[in-house]
A = this chain, B = another copy of it.
Amino acid sequence: MAQSREIQLVRRPVGTPVEKDFTTVHVAVAKPGAGEVQVRNLWMAIDPAMRGRMTDAKSYVPPFALDAAMEGPAIGEVIASNDPGFAPGDLVFSRLGWREIFNAPASALQQRDKASLPAQAWLCFAGMPGLTAYAGLVRIAGLKAGDVVFVSAASGAVGSIACQIARNMGCKVIGSAGGPDKTAFLRDMLKVDAAIDYKAEPSLTKALAHAAKSIGATGIDVYFDNVGGDHLQAALALANNFARFAICGMISQYNVTDAPTVPRNLTLLMTKRIRMEGYIALDHMDLEGEMVAQMTAWNAAGQMASAETVYHSIDKALDAFHGLFTGANIGRTMVKLA
């Protein structure tokens, strides 16, 4: 029997998750049963939405079960298969992260092309972060060449891809991130037109005005929001008339329990005729084929920089998770499992 480790949730965190909320369990994995496939995960990805699933608040995805391995996007290699659709060596995507080796029914797995892209890209720019950025910009915000695009959490998993999509589609891009390392990453790797270190700015609104001016613009046409709060307030303040805001996340607000103090300028929605729309990438899976084709072409042309923080082995998976919230990570947070 194969030896595997998996990380389970043992109680629901209150506020910031702590070590005692989790446990690492050693599991002996039997041979796959009828119709099952055995997979060795190569990579798993960690994302902030996992924090939501640790609580049992009503949401669009069910909470993680207690005393069971958590779930999350993973890319793995088939070790053994009792299903005619899968053969050893196949590259497969599943939602069965937080574990090393597992058996699953074939229906839980999706084939991925080994040849066209590196394995981990299927969890990054050709995976859900890619689709999230693509759907938000192209469908929700109706991105068009020449738009001035503001991306918050621009060094994050989705933001770093959003910056590159906007740039590749002929837009001017202003990215915001926290700290000089991250803004250097925005400039050097993502090639944004202007970068804001929000931690160094007493007024994000002034910083955004300054960034816009530095690229010859007076305001923004599109805001790709990962943050909410003061970033949203600044985006409202600098929005051009008829600006479109794709609300992908509001990470600044997830752990807020008091009344938020920002944004305090929501009435600008009306005077500037702003459209603000929340969305979830899962509602836009019909765009996946188009997105993968586009990303594959951009990658082949050297126009998609890798944007990942990689942790090595499942031992470090919780560190990877905490790194999301401490701001340690740049790009997609990945754990290399094998």
Mark A residues whose CB is within 8 Å of B: 59-60, 228, 232, 241, 247-250, 253-254, 259-264, 266-280, 283
Contact = CB atoms under 8 A, between A and B. Distances in A.
A262 to B, nearest CB: 7
Contact of A262 (B247, B259, B273): B259
Closest 8 CB pairs of A and B: A269-B278, A270-B278, A275-B277, A259-B261, A250-B267, A259-B264, A276-B276, A247-B269
A307 B177 CA distance: 52
Nearest to A229: B266
If over half of A's interface residues share one DSSP class (helix, strand or loop), that class is named, otherwise mixed; here it is loop
B264 A273 contact: no
A277 to B, nearest CB: 4
Given A59-B271, A269-B278, 17 more contacts: A228-B266, A232-B266, A248-B270, A250-B266, A254-B267, A259-B264, A260-B264, A260-B266, A263-B266, A269-B276, A269-B277, A271-B280, A272-B278, A273-B277, A273-B279, A275-B275, A275-B276
Contact of A278 (B250, B259, B264, B273): B273
B270 A250 contact: yes
Given A261-B259, A262-B259, A253 B278 contact: no
Contact of A277 (B59, B276, B283): B276
A280 B276 contact: no
A249 B273 CA distance: 11
23 contacts: A60-B271, A232-B266, A248-B270, A253-B266, A254-B267, A259-B261, A259-B262, A260-B264, A263-B266, A268-B278, A270-B278, A270-B280, A271-B278, A271-B280, A273-B278, A273-B280, A273-B283, A274-B277, A275-B275, A275-B276, A275-B278, A276-B276, A276-B277
B277 A228 contact: no
Contact of A274 (B248, B269, B278): B278
Contacts of A232: 266
A282 to B, nearest CB: 10
B270 A279 contact: yes
A260 B264 CA distance: 6
A333 to B, nearest CB: 20
